[in-house]
Amino acid sequence: MRSLYLSLLFLIFSFNAYSQSIILKGTVKDTGGLPVPFASVYEKSTTRGTSANSEGEYQLKLSPGKHTLIFKAIGFSQESRDLDLGAAQTLDIVLNPAVYELNDVVVNAFADDPAYEVIKNAIRTRKRHLTEPDKYTADVYIKGLQKLLSAPKKFLGRNIDDIGKQMGLDSNRKGILYLSESESKISFMQPDKLREEMISSKVSGSNRAFSFNRASDIRINFYENQLDLEGLSNRPFISPIADNALFYYKYRLIGTSIENGEMVNKIELIPRRAADPVFRGLIYILEDSWRIHSADLYVTKEANINFVDTLNIRQEFIPVNSKVWMPSSIRYDFTGGVLGFRFSGYYIALFKNYDLEASLKKKDFIEVLKITREVNKKDTAYWKQVRPIPLTNEEQIDYVKKEELAAKRESKVYLDSIDKVNNKLKPFRLLVGSGYTPRNRFKKEYYRFGSLINSVFYNTVEGFGLNYQASYSKQIDSLTNKFLNLTGKVRYGLSSEKLYGSFFGTIPLESSRIGFNIGTDVLDLNNNVTISQLGNSINSLFYERNLLKLYESKFLNFSFSKPFGSVQTSFTASWANRRSLQNTSDYTMRDLKRRVFTSNNPLRPASDLPMFPENQAFKVGVRATYAFSNDYATYPAGKFFRPSKYPQLGINYTKGISGIFGSDVDYDLISFDLTKSDIKLGLLGKSSFWIGAGKFLNAKSLYFTDYKHFKGNKTLSYTPVANNFLYLDYYNFSTSDQYFDAHFEHNFSGFMTNKVPLLRKLKLSEIAGFNYLSTPSLNNYSEVYFGLQFMNLRALYGMSYADGKKVDKGFRIAINF
């Protein structure tokens, strides 16, 4: 009874509090009668407020009584209104353009513009403002919108009109692609601790999706020397008040004005070099305290940004107390185009209810992000009450229309109709295209049959053959995106006249995964799968180079992976019957006089002797990785530990056990690897490295397939991974003893090519790297290389050395998906 009484009391109190709220609404326009988009509206001497929408409309909930409201926008003079509210009220505001005067200032050709003195003071006090306050909490509302402005009728053979209808676009393929709102609570502690808990999330067109909006992503701090615009630029941008800003910017004082008794300096930013990663626009600096009052900055294609043509960043600050100013709003506007598609959009974040005395401890920041399953369960009534920025008519219509489309898309009738069209068998695609992919979307079941052309191969062991596979997957949990995956494969060689078959799959559990693989197959002697089936076929048929060396295996494999806190672990157990194979075909389309096929024994290329006797092997293995980080993010799909600033350590142990299931092997291999990618070095780009070392503690009985193999390469093309070599032989330097290998690569992110006008527009990145390997049979092997990268395509030139002598050189190209 007591709990019921308390619940009723709370309900009555909440209702009474809501009933006492008064809604003030209106529009904010300029003197010409045009709306002022996203103008700020807040109560004086507080951090409570809102923003107008893109059409200048605002609404704000206030308690009855007297209030002083501030209306402001960058480029306009601030307006204030004293109100005594007793009932709902409409208040329209007209903002006048801000007048900035150059009083008593003399500018001549032989003196610096007065702006430089202001900027120098701002640079001098930058660190102080960067480190204030020590800690805080705040509430954040974020709204994001992306619109398609134009699109081609067809793209890659697909009808965009049909796709547009499913996405809610109009008949001209225009409309809102993404509309979302979210509320979060953020906590911050110096120097860089940030925690975010999403309170609510709403995505137009889906009742299940979670907003992409993140307060941690939209935050930007111009008191930092450099600002990373992740995804938009390969290089960090220089802040207008960075320690070295005078090297990158020129400044011009537009004028000064008085706001709330303080002088505001309006300063124009002028890049010294157009291609540098710098901002353009206006920054407003307060006199005496030299803190940022607001900023209206933008970057363009000249700065080599990706995906968008122009990005505009507007940020406004408000005083939280007499000493600390904090952002009240941050807004990103963008336009762009790619491959015939034109788009635009914005993201806006409103910050309120700052608490600079919040009780925070370091342990509070172990969980850096929290998004629960209940976040997107808030209904329309809830959002009508809490939404600080009114929806425009277009946005209201989009929510309603997309909600109807979402309900339709989830119905069995609709999904079956879509599947009926998609599931029609198209022989051409099955033969030479992408294959056949029927599905049952309502049951969340998906099938894939590979194309025949991609399954055909040639090698000297099997001759021409077919390596065909089909797969089935079923989504077990849409929220956690877990799938049951099963795949079957058959392989047949016309020359060897042997048929193989295997079946493998993965089964997701609550926080772990089971994998299995059973059957027979022809496998690469190097278990790194260093050369592709297609690459070997081309080299064999056209260049008389049978690079791939194979063996036959009958196997049963089992794997289990599970995280234990921030440590990722996996366990494997396998049994196999391994048998050497020999060449059965010497067919080639180009018979080169100076070249002949080698045997299938890589250590004796001129001899047809078997690589090893038929044997059985039972092995178990354990791997654990640790990233030296206990920070994690909680999503509806589970807990995920974040990468740290430290390298990731991996430890492996493999044991070959004799006597079990007829096993002939007896050995122990322990190895370690240390790796780190995306090591940011500012304007100089970013680096990555991989270091590995291992030793066979016991090598009583093992065969070549049990050796430690390395990711070699002897072809023009290669797959860029952290520990690959560019010129190393695939098999000759595998070891059953000890080894050490190291790999380092640096991406200069256009540091040099951006200085060359003709190359600048290509957005090329310079690549340089070094690879090293040491084994008992290969004492000191090294590779150096350099080249260029365009998006996912890279072209390199390098050289390799063994004991100081050059052994190979040449070009390498790669496409990394």
pLDDT of 432? 81
CA torsion 600→601→604→607, rounded to 10°?
A: -50
* Count of Cβ atoms closer than 10 Å to residue 399 Cβ: 19
Q: What pLDDT score does 88 carry?
A: 82
| pLDDT at residue 638, rounded to an integer | 80
Which stretch of DSSP H or E encloses residue 802? strand 793-802
What distance in Å separates the CA atoms of residue 256 and residue 251, rounded to the nearest whole number?
Answer: 14
pLDDT at 670: 98
Reference 205, options 175, 171, 167, 174; nearest CA is: 167
Query: How far is it, in rounded angstroms, from Cα 358 to Cα 367?
Result: 17
Structure tokens at 443: 């049951």
**Counting every residue, how long is the chain?**
817
Compute the chain's Rg from CA coordinates. 32
SS3 81: strand
Domains of the chain in sequence order: 22-95 (2.60.40.1120), 115-408 (no CATH), 477-527+535-664 (no CATH), 674-817 (no CATH)
Q: What is the DSSP string of 479-533?
A: TTTEEEEEEEEEEEETTTTEEEEEEEEEEE-SS-EEEEEEEEEEEESSTT--S-H
CA–CA separation, 54 and 77 (whole Å): 19
Q: CA-CA distances (angstroms) from residue 462 to 258, 467, 585? A: 84, 11, 7
Name which of 23, 48, 213 is nearest 139 in CA terms: 48
Q: Which amino acid is at 182?
A: S
Determine phi and psi for 310, rounding to 5 degrees: -140, 135
Phi, psi of 224, rounded to the nearest 5 degrees: -75, 150
For position 269, what pLDDT does the model report? 96
Average pLDDT per 10 consecutive residues for the chain, totaling 817 residues: 33 38 88 91 85 90 88 89 86 89 58 89 95 93 90 76 75 85 94 92 75 81 91 88 96 92 93 90 95 93 82 93 91 86 90 92 91 87 90 91 81 83 86 88 92 94 96 85 93 96 94 95 92 92 94 97 91 97 94 90 91 96 92 84 88 96 96 94 93 96 96 91 94 95 94 81 90 93 94 92 92 80
φ/ψ (deg, to 5) at 386: -100, -15
User: Which residues are 135's β-sheet partners?
Assistant: 189
Distance CA 536, CA 532 (A): 6
Q: Reduced to 3 states, what is the DSSP secondary structure of residue 398? A: helix
